[in-house]
Chain A
Amino acid sequence: MELREKLEILADAAKYDASCASSGTEKRDSRDGGLGSTEGMGICHAYAPDGRCISLLKVLLTNACVFDCAYCINRASSNVRRARFSVREIVGLTLDFYRRNYIEGLFLSSGIIRSPDYTMEQIVRVARELREVHGFKGYIHLKTIPDADPALLAEAGRHADRLSINVELPQQSSLKTLAPEKDAGRIRVAMAGLRTRIEEAKEARAEAARPRVAMKGGPRAAAPRFAPAGQSTQMIVGADASTDATVLDTSTHLYGSYRLKRVYFSAYSPIPDASALLPPVAPPLVREHRLYQADWLLRFYGFTAPEIMAGGENGMLDLEVDPKLAWALKHRWMFPVDINRADREMLLRVPGLGAKTVDRVLSSRRVRSFRMADLARLRVSLRKVAPFITAIDHHPRAGLLDRQDLRAMLVPRDGLADRAAILPGGLMPRPVQLPLFAHA
């Protein structure tokens, strides 16, 4: 089989994994030899028409697999064409793409063949070859097979920047039905093991960086390296009946238990070769987007999962508006908030004010009292915040917050909500052409 054909099959097989991040690792560069650099910030080298960032060469070593997970294109019972890269081919592709500045590095995963150890060994071999033979200093993300030998995991962590193990489904019961060979308990045990190793390596590095008094026994051995960019996981959304509340609850527990850098959500997407257990439907992209927004509120805005869910109904998030606005609409009595006096916690709850903006407001407030034009200079969408705040020259219209149709006014409709009703005259953020005789 031609290399190009293999690449097409094995990239296609890898595209259902959402992660392509190349951020959060140690700084390295090639001025002392080798090829490549990492600078903490990930770089998206291209965007596909699905809006997703292409940062890493994301491929499977092979799409052959002995597991039969219903949601997976590569399951054993699928009719998909199978291919397998040799170690040399992946190494060559990675280096070729990297030199031309197409990618930040490699994301390597694989179907399970022969045994977990055999598969993990093949994955590790690619990383070892890149690092040790070619002095590759770009980013490497390796999928970790939960049941592989700890010695292999230790080596994977030595070469990789990030490791990941996918939990795939939010509930153990769904996993039993759709992925009979996977075991939620063992996935969690493996994640726990990664967390322990990641933290040990971090502590050892901090220890090594500390200045010490001279000791007998010569220089200390270099601290072991283990996945400096941490671990992440992925959950498929919409393949089982789990509610958003369950998804967020599971992700909250995963963040807390295993210190994950990221829990990715991936809308279950139709695959060319679907299983009878999961017939193809359009992927729930909006739901996925809302879950990411909720995840953000949980991690950076001081919201709790029950608060977020209170913005929705029956354990599902509101699809029409973002979770923050949904929460505000159900807690109208807490608004309007005085932009010149409210504390940080309350400002973070105002729809349309991001964490950075809130920090800027707080630091500017020491020298000025905010008018709406000042907010506009902080790149705030006045239309979005207007109903929820007061400023020196702005009070929401009387009764606006009590109106039944406030939600309808704020739901983005072709980008034009009913501005005139929200903003007092003279505060049009963007001029709108109004018909001369507006319909009453």
Chain B
Amino acid sequence: MHEVALATPDDFEGWRTAARALVMAGIPPEEVEWRAEGDPVPLFGGGPPPAPPADAPPPRVPRGFPDLAQLVIRHRDPGRFALLHGLLYRLQHERGLLDDAADPAVSRANAMARAVRRDAHKMHAFVRFREVRVEDGALAAPLAAPDPVAVPDTPAPARNARSVALALRDHGALEEAAEAPPAPPAPRAPEPPPESRFVAWYEPEHHILRAESAFFTRRFAMLRWSILTPALSAHWDGEAVTFGPGARRADAPAEDAAETLWRAYFASIFNPARLKPDAMRAEMPRKYWRNLPEAQDIPRLMQEAPRRVAEMVARGATPPVERRQRAIHLPAIIRAAQPEAAGSVDSPMPADLLTPNESFAEAQAALRRDLLARNDLPPWTANATQPVMGEGPQHPLLMFVGEQPGDEEDLKGHPFVGPAGRLWNKALEEAGVTRDEAYVTNAVKHFKFTPTGKRRLHQSPDAGDITFYRPFLLREIDFVGPRLIVTLGATALRAVSGRAMPVTKLRSSLLRDPEGRPFYPTVHPSYLLRLPDPAAKAREYDRFVEDLGQAAATARNLPAR
């Protein structure tokens, strides 16, 4: 039997050095007694283990082992060192051991690591600092650095904490809150005075204080704090953490002025109609309550809850208050919020009775308004962000009609800004058409899609959708008045012509719609994006540019409208 004594209960470095030597010396785990400060003295003491042979290869471990071991070392189970030694020993010939979570030793180590992680997480959550003025009550635990003496001409502050918030009473608060004057520019809220120290009493389950003090250092680097636990205390002076002996609860301050406010908050944020004490206890077990100031109120809050809810239900609805909140601004907010309903007697003439001298912008706005005011929109439109209307000049050379807005168009509210739109833009430029010669819109004004996890899959509009939006498109064609319409893809072709027709057969030809207006069908740029073969893509793209050039040339020879 060999005996290995470690300096502290969480002495990972000591354990690692000893365990490496043991594995190199080929000493199996069952021949070693591990002991750390505070552990029971082993039954069979032994001498220290022999030094390993000089030529022994150092043990190798998979990447996850050091992290696991560091957590397990902090567990309070006296068997932790032997368990880890056993794992290290087996890892030399069982390479994938850690991936087998069902192995009894791995499962036990994982459970210990989980317990330590949870303990650390609860410590981050449940440590409660209390502010003390150092010259008032020296801490029982030795502090790392001498405290600076308070400036002599400042009056001695009250014993214990002085809450900043309490100094901030606002005597000007009005019942009618909306009338309160705007707050003056805030002066700097007083920072805690330099002679303040934040002290907490905490009882962790495992040996985690040394490791977890780093969390508090990162978070409260500019404060000076101490965390007192039964076995160890940690003190931060702004430069370094010093560890001192364990403490008693009485060594920590007994109160803090901010606690009244905190307890008031805790009681108010609780919703008595949702009483679920088991859920609370699962995450905040009773053992923590004695060190949580807010937990004092839990029994009372639980006891009062049923009565409070019964009263609310019994009271039922209350009559609306006489004096409503001042709503001077409400009309403006509402007006901005709601499109003008179409069709009431007082509203202006509906847009389809447009007089020719109505401005182009007004006609566009009216079209959007009328679309939004419809109560028979296809149900899927409720999932779209917004209708995407056409954009461009009046009486353009070309009016492009696409299928429907895509993901980006739906988010931004502008047509042809997504991948297909960018490609179309490029082709337009190469065809020698400037943007001020082109108006662009879609046959269907909302984005139709199927949600799949994080992406929205474009869904083609069906005949019913095209039919619904067609009158809006025809009205748009009327007030835009292009020389030539270019339909991009099958949906646009169908919407303009009123019939289902094959794009591939009709593309690049000049046709007339039922009203006798000329239009020119071609493919939709998204078709180019979907072609997998780069050669075919380049060929088709060139043909698309050619189409656009031909359409422009044709349009230039058509009369302006």
A interface residues (Cβ-Cβ under 8 A, vs B) = 1-4, 6-9, 11-12, 14-16, 29-31, 33-37, 39, 41, 43-54, 57-58, 62-66, 68, 76-79, 81-89, 91-93, 95-97, 99-102, 112-116, 122, 129, 133-134, 147, 171-172, 181-186, 188-189, 191-193, 195-196, 250, 252-253, 255-257, 259, 267, 269-276, 278-283, 285, 299, 360, 363-364, 366-368, 370, 374-375, 377-379
Residue numbers in B under 8 Å from A33 (CB-CB)? 221-222
User: Other than the known A50-B272, A66-B327, what 17 A-B pairs have Cβ atoms closer than 8 Å?
Assistant: A1-B173, A3-B261, A43-B125, A49-B301, A52-B274, A54-B266, A54-B269, A66-B329, A77-B320, A87-B183, A99-B192, A101-B129, A183-B338, A256-B452, A257-B451, A274-B318, A285-B274
Answer whether A8 and B268 are a contact pair too, CB < 8 Å, given A35-B220, A50-B280, A66-B329.
Answer: yes
- Contact assessment for B284 and A47 in the assembled complex, using a CB-CB cutoff below 8 Å: yes
Please tell me if B170 contacts chain A, counting CB pairs below 8 Å.
yes
Residue numbers in B under 8 Å from A48 (CB-CB)? 266, 269-271, 280, 301
> Whose C-beta in chain A lies nearest to the C-beta of B196?
A99
How near does chain B come to A10, taking the closest CB pair, in angstroms? Answer: 8
| Residues 272 to 321 of chain B near chain A (Cβ within 8 Å) | 272-280, 282-284, 292, 294-295, 298, 301-302, 305, 309, 312-313, 315-321
| Cα distance A259–B455 in the bound complex, in angstroms | 9
Contact of B170 among A3, A46, A192, A252 (CB under 8 A): A3
Please tell me if B250 contacts chain A, counting CB pairs below 8 Å.
no
Answer whether A83 and B177 are a contact pair too, CB < 8 Å, given A133-B186, A255-B454.
Answer: yes
- Contact assessment for B258 and A96 in the assembled complex, using a CB-CB cutoff below 8 Å: yes
Contact of A43 among B96, B121, B451 (CB under 8 A): B121
> Whose C-beta in chain A lies nearest to the C-beta of B294?
A46
How near does chain A come to B277, taking the closest CB pair, in angstroms? Answer: 5
Residue numbers in A under 8 Å from B222 (CB-CB)? 30, 33-35
Top 9 A-B residue pairs of the complex, sorted by shortest distance between their CB atoms: A51-B279, A256-B451, A51-B276, A77-B320, A84-B177, A29-B218, A64-B177, A50-B274, A11-B268
Residue numbers in B under 8 Å from A191 (CB-CB)? 385
How near does chain A come to B511, taking the closest CB pair, in angstroms? Answer: 36
Residue numbers in A under 8 Å from B200 (CB-CB)? 101
For B, the interface residue count at a CB cutoff of 8 angstroms equals: 121
Contact of A37 among B219, B265, B316 (CB under 8 A): B219
B interface residues (Cβ-Cβ under 8 A, vs A) = 96, 99-104, 107, 111, 121, 124-131, 163-166, 168-170, 173-178, 180, 182-183, 186-189, 191-192, 198, 200, 215, 217-223, 256, 258, 260-262, 264-280, 282-284, 292, 294-295, 298, 301-302, 305, 309, 312-313, 315-321, 324-327, 329-330, 332-334, 336-338, 372, 382-386, 410-413, 449, 451-456
How near does chain B come to A371, taking the closest CB pair, in angstroms? Answer: 9
Contact of B262 among A3, A86, A100 (CB under 8 A): A100
Answer whether A192 and B274 are a contact pair too, CB < 8 Å, given A3-B168, A47-B279, A147-B337.
Answer: no
Residue numbers in B under 8 Å from A147 (CB-CB)? 333, 336-337
Contact of A46 among B260, B284, B312 (CB under 8 A): B284
Residue numbers in B under 8 Å from A253 (CB-CB)? 383, 451
| Cα distance A278–B312 in the bound complex, in angstroms | 12
| Cα distance A328–B102 in the bound complex, in angstroms | 26
- Contact assessment for A51 and B101 in the assembled complex, using a CB-CB cutoff below 8 Å: no
- Contact assessment for A360 and B260 in the assembled complex, using a CB-CB cutoff below 8 Å: no
> Whose C-beta in chain B lies nearest to the C-beta of A186?
B337
| Cα distance A207–B158 in the bound complex, in angstroms | 53
Q: List 26 A-B contacts (CB under 8 A).
A: A3-B169, A9-B268, A15-B269, A31-B218, A49-B277, A49-B301, A57-B265, A66-B178, A84-B173, A84-B174, A93-B261, A97-B262, A113-B178, A115-B333, A133-B186, A147-B333, A181-B334, A185-B386, A186-B337, A256-B455, A257-B385, A271-B312, A275-B317, A360-B102, A364-B100, A366-B100
